[in-house]
Structure 1
Amino acid sequence: CEHGCIYCYARNSHEFWGFSAGLDFERRILVKKDASKLLEAFIKRKNWKAYPIVMSGNTDCYQPAEQKFQITRACLNVFLKYKHPVSIITKNVLILRDLDIIKALAKDNLISVNVSITSLSETTRRILEPRTATIKKRLETVKTLSDHGIPVNVMLAPIIPSINSHEILPLAKAVSEAGALSIAHTIVRLNGAIGEIFKDWIYKALPDSAEKVLHQIENCHGGTLNDSRFGTRMRGEGEIAKQINDLVRLARLKYFKDKTMPKLNTELHESYKDGQMKLF
């Protein structure tokens, strides 16, 4: 992914294809040009029961390459054609290019959007996520989507102790005011090759606080940077993790008490499996 976020868990998946999780991950972009056709064949299967499909569970579906290839736009058209629910995760304002399709999906409650915002500081954003949209533009994206009736959740992810953990409450306030209906978070975990990549980065980018940050991350994951334990790897454990999780709970109470994300519609798809409404 060209965004180059230093903490990204998807870096490890690039090694599966024979590339490095470091610079190769940011510079050698693999493109699945037939994704929309594969998607269409998948959701047309007779035994497929509609369930929200997430776009960007690995890398960002609106990273810069999408401007050229328009694969995500083609997939959204498939979801619209077959009235199938979809949820998008992105930190790129390119999503607004597809507002026409997104609005059409939203009319039938078939889409939700998760915008990733990890900091209100441009300095922090630039060192963590060097080729991503500015925080101002992301907040504007949340507002634009919300103003058009698109349900938006904001991902405060990952929370990194002593880097952005102090921003949870102001972040929650800002995204709520922009129109977000909810927030979600994870605590950073540095699995596989990411641990060494992150350590190399932090000693160069934040040398004075590097040791403190690394020790605090380890404190959240049983004394290790690499945490693959199901059930704890996203939320962490220990005192620092508890403080972070408690702050997120407080943020929800303060800024999202009367807001809820709607459940996506899974009922329409069965009648549209052949691409048009079945009357009988």
Structure 2
Amino acid sequence: MTLMVNGGPGSLPDIFARPLADKLRKSLGQAVVVDNRPGAGGMVAMQHLKEAGPSGHTLAIITNAHAVWNPYVFPSLTYNPTTDLQPVSPIAILPMAMAVNPKLGVSSVQELVAKAKAEPGVINYASSGNGSPPHVLFEVWRSQAGLDIVHIPFKTGTDALTSTVAGDTQVYFAGTALVEAMAKDKKLQVLAVSPHVESPTFAHAPTMEQAGFPGYESAVWLGVVAPAGTPDAVVNKLNTAISEALRDPAFATIMKANGSIPLHESAQDFAQRIAKERAEWGPQIEKIGIRPN
């Protein structure tokens, strides 16, 4: 079997893919190889998955970007999430944190909103690239809040983090695992998280809902998909194997160390989650007009 990852070795999806592949190898009794295929907002990996055929021997790690957002961001998407991807199982929720450089002088989301409204076009925010989850999630929030905050895209999340810590950019909406060390060292100030995170570093941070944005859900999730047409019996067998992997204490430790919350659902429930998010997020992203370049 092949488990494809839209990210290089050491990326967050790769960190989860390798122990998952090891657990699947043991539970299914066959070799499982991790195949890193980064690039083009996930299109490289998704195209290879699409071409692999529905044997159940080729899987891919995805996020909500690949299954929900990409059709509304990339005008020339080379795959159709609705017809080319077969949901197998989610594996984790990746909570997000709204973090700012302390020199910005705000200590809450409300203060950030007030400052941005008083100084339109002055504050800027970093992301890990046009069309990336931090970009999409921040743009949806910015639109809801009615703010004029300038987007500064970077090639990687690490570059965006470094820029915000240095003060070249002022705001970064990113995974809690990425910003935790800098927040702990007081080099970044966390204004809010989504959802709640059980970590001393974020203990006093409200959720985005508590900060005044009810219904705003900004977490990124990771999941496993197969090519469309994969038989239900194969999908259900894979779903059961993934459920067993998520219950493994060693795997749970890896997830916790990387700021994630294990998540398992049936393949049917996972498909319903994706469909529900498409209905909710599609109109918002189309209205904003996010584009990769």
TM-score relative to the length of structure 1: 0.32
Q: Indicate the structure whose relative CO is greater, using CA pairs within 8 Å and at least 6 residues apart.
A: 2
TM-score relative to the length of structure 2: 0.31
